[in-house]
Amino acid sequence: MAAPQDRDVQPEDLSASHELIRLRGVRTHNLKDVDVDIPKRRLVAVTGVSGSGKSSLAFATLAAESRRQLYATMPAFVRTKLPHDRQPEATSLSGLTTVIVVDQRPLGSNSRSTVGTATEVWTMLRMLYSRLGEPSAGYSPAYSFNDPSGMCEDCAGLGEVTDIDGEAMIDRDRSLNEGAMVFPSFAVDTWIWKRYVYSGFFDNDLPLREWPEELVQFLLHGQTQRPPNPLPRFPKSARYQAMVPRIRRLLVEREAKPGPAVRQALREVTAQRPCQACGGSRLNAAARASLVHGVSIVELGHRDASGVLDFCAAITHPWAQPLVEQLRLRLESMITLGLGHLHCYRSTPTLSGGESQRLKLVRHLGSSLTDLTYVLDEPTDGLHPGDVASLIEVLRRLRGHGNTVLVVDHHTAVINAADHVIDLGPGAGEEGGQVVFQGPVERLRKADTITARALRNGVRLKAEPRRPTGWLALRGLSRHTLKNIDLDIPTEVLTVITGVAGSGKSTLAQEILDQYPRFTLIDQTHILATSRSTVGTWLSIADHVQQAFAEVSGQSAKLFNPRSAGGCPHCRGTGVRRTDLAFLEDVDTPCEHCGATGFRPEALRPTLHGRTVLDVLRTPLSGLAEFVSHPTVARLSARLTALGLGHLSCGRPLDTLSGGERQRLKLARHIDDTNSDLVIDEPTAGLHINDIIPLNGLVDELIDSGRTIIVVEHSLHVVANADWIVDLGPGAGDQGGRILFTGTPHELAGADTPTGRHLRDALRS
């Protein structure tokens, strides 16, 4: 039975100046016809367990409708170039303002995108060096590694070059007709293969080992040219291009988008190394030689934010002061947001989701726009408790500029700092989707919701830490920020590595992985979710469902796969038909041919224990083992239920899951795939406090079975459950990389370190 909505804030309770964003009858995803009033120009926290409907309310409803209406005001031609948001399911949405979404999507997958380019710090430095640099390299593009006038010619501004092992792409014991070109793109009878066998250069039936060596090298590295005597089937306008140059053009320089098999093969025949010409700096000699106060732009590019700030303090030229002031504002914002350890050359694809999100905020802090609504997706991810206070000040600064700040987050400090809280639940999935509380945080603490109880319970230390069975020695660790540290890691216990962002935690974890291959890493890589991938396909248990129906029906298992022979041909197994309306949003309508099931009629005739395959795919994972008798299904169903994911169904599309649900799903699968010791990087990302409890239980279960688990984590609930703590710091980047503390959580609570002080405060609350 859902808890009733606590209507602490009604329109009549607010003064005339407190305008409202009113959401009525919202039914997006699992939301159950909810009504929400969001006070404008306030810091509003949206809370609730993972999967309760927070993102459906904040992003799929409020943000999507605001963006959709804004785009509708633009010319039709412009609308064709913009994202198309579907109209949310709701009775009415009013009082909307322009929304700025600051989510956790990566800033860019392009290796040319760096911290410096994303924050425009590099742009300002280029401008500075174009005016003050001696000797000058030219205008500001001459200092850009993304412009031909500034990039290193050898690596095209990438800082590294790709070596291709041509010998690994051929089998000298075969002829061309027998598949001597073993790289997948050159498979027999493909169009690329025909470019070689019909070129007239080679004996296609002679094994490569019998060719003259210069001819083999011509196959691999020869000059591009028009064949003088091609066979009749060689295209008249085509040119011969050797294997290595072709792979470099099509795959390394990304003119084509390879599939999984080709990507794996490419990894096996290529290797990256720093460009020798520019030393990895990406810039040409003229840009590298230009100095301001004896410092090159390359050196500045490798300094952290504090280091660049020190450089700015020495710039006294009157004309440069406005530029330096803007530069200083960006750098100070990075430090405030816990990103002071980053440098301009850091590639954005290597940033975590939390780092990417906070980096996006850097550009908004200097904005003079007002009456906007900022919607943030768990900005505390990856932040040490000490950095969260700085983030909250940034959120308050945005609010102070006259903006509404809506934060989807689980962190206690963010909830306590909010002016207004919207708590969703009471559970996840079908058990959620209701507003169980709405009002100020003072009243939330007294409410009867999962979030309220978690706030009241606070952090509790484990009564008795486990005793190690042995120790793993690590000596002289000096990679990246680590300062020649010596360390012993206990075995068959839970060790938590903590410290401020950028203090060296991930580097230490990588050293453990490198020196002790018995460990397997479970990192923060996001599950690749598409509308055609489901919980069952990703966990590889949908195959067992299909096989179970195949056995009882005598039909092929493919008949019970909507993405294969069993799929409706009209909607291709999706259950919906999408209509492209050009500049309007795409419209999805239930497929009338299959009744929105996604299946052919013949796939739904056989039954298993009285249920069709559609019924079983819609069955919650907690009850799936009743229909499908298989050890993997039973094991994963039990584990996912213990992690609070029993409400998910096998046929649930992955792109409808929350971040916390995906995180636990990934943990369950990877833990099931291996029996090795584990290094887990921030497993609580996206998790409600209440969801951390079963996660701690799973970790305890694994350790009791004899495993050693090392967790990189900031959550004090995980820290308090540890047997051993390694605390790094004291700061980020060059200010970190030292061991501040090793010992039990009880001992950490009495230590004078940033983590120790925050743990001590949490235990008192």
pLDDT tens track for 646-687: 889 999 888 778 777 888 888 888 887 778 899 998 888 888
Q: Is 423 helix (H, G, I), strand (E, B) or coil?
A: strand
Handedness of CA 8, 11, 15, 21 (dihedral sign): positive
Question: Can you tell me the distance from the alpha carbon of 124 to that of 446, in angstroms, rounded to the nearest whole number?
Answer: 50
Listing DSSP states for 257-320 in one string gives ---HHHHHHHHHHEEEEE-TTTTT--B-HHHHH-EETTEEHHHHHTSBHHHHHHHHHT---GGG
The reported pLDDT for the residue numbered 258 is 67
Quick check: 14 pLDDT over 50? no
Percent of the chain scored above 70 by pLDDT?
94
Q: pLDDT (tens digit, 9 = 90+) per residue, 337-354?
A: 888 889 999 988 778 766
Question: Can you tell me the distance from the alpha carbon of 280 to that of 92, in angstroms, rounded to the nearest whole number?
Answer: 55
Q: Is 369 exposed, middle or buried (0-12, 13-18, 19+ CB in 10 A)?
A: exposed
In this structure, are residues 221 and 213 in contact, taking their beta carbons and an 8 Å threshold? no
Handedness of CA 640, 644, 647, 648 (dihedral sign): negative
Q: pLDDT (tens digit, 9 = 90+) per residue, 535-585?
A: 999 898 999 999 999 999 999 999 999 988 999 998 888 888 876 554 444
Q: How confident is the model at residue 395 (pLDDT cuts 50, 70, 90)?
A: very high
Mean pLDDT across the stretch 249-264?
Answer: 72
The reported pLDDT for the residue numbered 579 is 65
93-112 core/surface letters (b: 16 or more CB in 10 A; e: else)? beebbebbbbbbebbbeeeb
Looking at domain 535-659, its CATH class is mainly alpha
Percent of the chain scored above 90 by pLDDT?
63
The residue type found at 447 is: A
> What fold, for 470-518+697-763?
Rossmann fold (3.40.50)
Question: Can you tell me the distance from the alpha carbon of 88 to that of 51, in angstroms, rounded to the nearest whole number?
Answer: 18
- Residue tagged 């790709």 (tokens): 162
Listing DSSP states for 554-611 in one string gives -S-GGGG-TTTTTB-TTTTTSSEEEE--TTSPPEEEE-TTTTTS-B-GGGGS--BTTB
- Residue tagged 């303002």 (tokens): 97
Ordered by start, the domain boundaries in the chain are: 20-106+351-457, 115-159+277-337, 162-274, 470-518+697-763, 535-659
Quick check: 212 pLDDT over 70? yes
pTM assigned to the model? 0.79
Mean pLDDT across the stretch 46-52?
Answer: 91
CA 658 distance to own-chain centroid? 13
Which H/E stretch holds residue 338? Answer: none
| Alpha helices (runs of H) in 136-247, residue ranges in sequence order | 191-197, 213-221, 243-247
Quick check: 8 pLDDT over 70? no
In this structure, are residues 654 and 527 in contact, taking their beta carbons and an 8 Å threshold? yes
Question: Can you tell me the distance from the alpha carbon of 15 to that of 322, in angstroms, rounded to the nearest whole number?
Answer: 41
The reported pLDDT for the residue numbered 525 is 72
Closest CA to 548 of 650, 399, 662: 650
Tokens coding 480 = 């990246």
Q: Is 23 helix (H, G, I), strand (E, B) or coil?
A: strand
Q: How confident is the model at residue 39 (pLDDT cuts 50, 70, 90)?
A: very high
Question: Can you tell me the distance from the alpha carbon of 47 to that of 168, in angstroms, rounded to the nearest whole number?
Answer: 53
Question: Can you tell me the distance from the alpha carbon of 705 to that of 119, in angstroms, rounded to the nearest whole number?
Answer: 47
Q: Within 10 Å of residue 561's Cβ, how many Cβ atoms?
A: 21
Closest CA to 751 of 715, 725, 722: 725
Tokens coding 460 = 């509790």
CA 298 distance to own-chain centroid? 29
The DSSP bridge partners found for residue 37 are: 22
CATH 1.10.8.280 fits 162-274, yes or no: yes
The DSSP bridge partners found for residue 374 are: 100, 405
Architecture, CATH, for domain 20-106+351-457: 3-Layer(aba) Sandwich (3.40)
* Three-point CA angle 172, 178, 183, nearest 5°: 65
Mean pLDDT across the stretch 162-175?
Answer: 94
Order of strands across the sheet with 373-377? Answer: 99-102, 373-377, 404-408, 43-47, 420-425, 434-439
Tokens coding 158 = 């990438």
As a residue count, the chain comes to: 765
Quick check: 209 pLDDT over 60? yes
> What's the chain's Rg over C-alpha atoms?
29
In this structure, are residues 650 and 611 in contact, taking their beta carbons and an 8 Å threshold? no
Question: Can you tell me the distance from the alpha carbon of 84 to that of 581, in angstroms, rounded to the nearest whole number?
Answer: 10
**Of the given ranges (100-114, 237-251, 625-639), which has the lowest mean pLDDT?**
100-114
Average pLDDT over the chain, rounded to whole?
89
In this structure, are residues 564 and 571 in contact, taking their beta carbons and an 8 Å threshold? no
Quick check: 259 pLDDT over 60? yes
Mean pLDDT across the stretch 2-23?
Answer: 54
Give, in order, the Cα–Cα distances in Å from 178 to each of 191, 196, 198. 16, 13, 15
Q: pLDDT (tens digit, 9 = 90+) per residue, 85-132?
A: 778 999 999 999 999 998 877 676 677 889 999 999 999 999 999 999
Taking the alpha carbons at both ends of the chain, their separation in whole angstroms is 31
In this structure, are residues 127 and 97 in contact, taking their beta carbons and an 8 Å threshold? no
Give, in order, the Cα–Cα distances in Å from 739 to each of 477, 497, 743. 11, 10, 11
The reported pLDDT for the residue numbered 125 is 96
Q: pLDDT (tens digit, 9 = 90+) per residue, 489-519?
A: 999 999 999 998 788 998 999 999 999 999 9
Question: Can you tell me the distance from the alpha carbon of 339 to that of 90, in angstroms, rounded to the nearest whole number?
Answer: 39
CB proximity list for 392: less than 8 A, separation 6 or greater: 413, 414, 417
Closest CA to 380 of 751, 69, 659: 659
The reported pLDDT for the residue numbered 7 is 40
Tokens coding 287 = 């840009």
> What fold, for 115-159+277-337?
ABC transporter ATPase like fold (1.20.1580)
The DSSP bridge partners found for residue 726 are: 497, 742
